[in-house]
Structures are given as structure tokens and as C-alpha cells.
Amino acid sequence: MRTLLEKLREGRILLGICVMYPVAGIVERIGPDWDFVWIDSQHGQHDYHSLLESVRAADFRGVESLIRVPGHDAGSIGRALDMGASGVLVPQVDTREQAESVIRAAKFPPTGNRSFGGRRPVDIYSRSYSHTANRDVALVVQIESQAAVENAEAILSLDGIDAFFFGPDDMALRDGLPMDQPRPAGLYDESLKRMIEIGKRYSVFGGGVFASPEAFQKAVELGFSLISVGGDAGFLAEGSQKSSEKMRALLKAGTGKR
């Protein structure tokens, strides 16, 4: 099976990006720059076929793949895992009861109640893939509210949770903060520290989006090991803007026109 969890267990810090556009070529082209791609079917524009082709592209290029599913339902989680992804990222897991529900969907018996028969895993790994899937395929829950932080021990202590992914945007929104304004420095430092401490207690890895050098350094110092630093949309916009500005400056310098 895929080895994202094996790499984390070796103590590696894995760097990744979010892929929101439904184009497998993005994964094929820039995926190898990273350790994992987080393929987003919650807020991204993916359908079944673009998810499947993106996972295949990741496999082809030797990159681990996490599919963020749109919710907690067993159908979405099972379908994503049947594509042969390295794991699933499940949003807005706030309570122990919700965590238990996603474990049932993502793990085979006796840990959970995942249905057997995924076409792609059987084709690639044979019917024996279920023997090790619970150990090898990652279930990552997103912690995106103060309630989830308060319930962290109850959530992360459950057998079947492999990693958590800290979600500051939804947390800030729930705390009444605007999405288009800078946040106070150190706003969630205590929450990050608490999550990592509890995660280490139960051998659950910590992840999140840490895009600035300062945030990245702090995350590494705290012990986060599944770190997303950006995404296709941002990289596309930033690269385009820089190229446009450079060429327009040359044009202006040469002709006096914009």
C-alpha cells in the first residue's frame, strides 16, 4: 500500500500542497516537488474522474495523495479510499462521536466498517490489500473549531485516527474574525501546542497549513510533520502576476508606455 504513514513513522517532515483545480496534469507536473498532494473535493472543483486521475498521476510520479472528502458520510470516504489514495482528510471533526463515525467509514473491521471491494486497490494490490489497509492508509481528521480543540483528547485517543490537520480558517470564522484581514500574531499558538501534545501522547501525527516562513518554522519547532505550504491556485496567481509585472516593467522602460 501507499507509504505516507510509514514515512511519518520514520520521523520525516512531509511537505505538501493543495490541488483544487480538476486537472491531473497539475499533479503530474509539480507534484514531484513535494512529498504529498492534498486533492480537495470539499472546496475544490474536482469530480470523481478528476480525483481518480489525480491519484493516478500522484502514484505515477511517486507522490503521496490525500483526498479531502466533502463530509463525514461513508459513501464519500469509501469511494475516495477505493481510488487508492494514501489517505483521506475529513473536515470539521468536532466531537468524539463524529470521529467514531469517520473511523467506521475509513477502516476495515474490526476497527471500522469500511466496505471491501475497491476496484483499483484490488487491481493493483490484489484482494489481500485489506490485510494491511488499516495500518497503511491514513485517516486524517481536521480540527477546525474551539470545540474540536477542547475535545482533542477524546478524538485523538481513538483507535483509527492517524493524524489531525489544524484548520485555522474555519476556526477564525467561527470565532468571528474576517477572512480578508490579517490575524493577530500568535492567535492559535496555545491551540497548536495543545493539539501536538495530545497527538504525541497517542502517536497521532500533526498537520496543517503553514505557508509563511515564520509559521512554518514555528510548526516544525512544535513537532508538526504533515505540512502544507500552499496550493495550485496561489502558485498560479503568484507566478502569473510576477511574470506580468516584470514584462510590463520592461515594456514601460523601453517605450514609455504601459
Could you list the active site residues?
A: 43
Q: Rounded distance, CA 122 to CA 128, Å?
A: 8
Cell of 56: 493516478
Sorted by sequence, the CB contacts under 8 Å of residue 119 that are 6+ apart come out as 82
Quickly count: other Cβ atoms within 10 Å of residue 43's Cβ. Answer: 12
